[in-house]
Amino acid sequence: MVRVPATRTLENSLRRVGFVHVAGVDEVGRGCLAGPVVAAAVLLHPDRHIPGVCDSKLVPSVKREQLYERIVRGAVAWAVAAASIVAKVTRDRQMLELHGRDPRYGFDRHKGYATADHLEAVARFGYSDVHRRSFRPSTLFDTID
């Protein structure tokens, strides 16, 4: 999938036809083997610009944390990009907490995604309480069952 810079084109178009508030909504964690799926909805003021806001996958972790603080402080009306950062940082923080409870799986490194290290840890230690049983990429788990 080609990633494009975050713009306000959609939000501006919706405002021109009468929408007052436009929420950006995004989720992270759908493709992970463990941990939560986190969704965020964000409203930012239409006149407020936050430099650096774009798809969270394109923003380094340290920068996402900085943007998260700015977004949460000023949230009241624009963008899916802002929501993606809020969702990603929220989920990453949860995965770091889970790593603290059980470091064998390396959640601090892969945040629950299906990396080779993560699959190896699951093969070695079995499923933890946070590994998905119903909502999971089953083809990945089939290789280690």
Percent of the chain's residues with pLDDT above 90: 26
What's the chain's average pLDDT?
80
Count helices and strands in the chain by DSSP H and E runs = 6, 2
By the 8 A CB rule, do 55 and 84 touch?
yes
- Grouping H, G, I as helix, E, B as strand and the rest as coil, residue 24 is strand
What lies within 8 Å, CB to CB, of 115 at 6+ separation is 109
- pLDDT category at 145 given cuts 50, 70, 90 is very low
- Could you tell me the domains of the chain? 9-142 (3.30.420.10)
| Per-residue pLDDT at 104 | 96
Nearest to 111, CA basis, from 128, 92, 131, 89: 92
Q: Encode pLDDT of 99-128 as tens digits.
A: 999 999 999 999 998 899 999 999 999 999
| Per-residue pLDDT at 48 | 75
pLDDT top residue among 82 and 39? 39
20-25: Cβ within 8 A, 24+ apart: 21/77, 22/77, 22/78, 23/83, 24/78, 24/79, 24/80, 24/81, 24/82, 24/83, 24/84, 25/80, 25/83
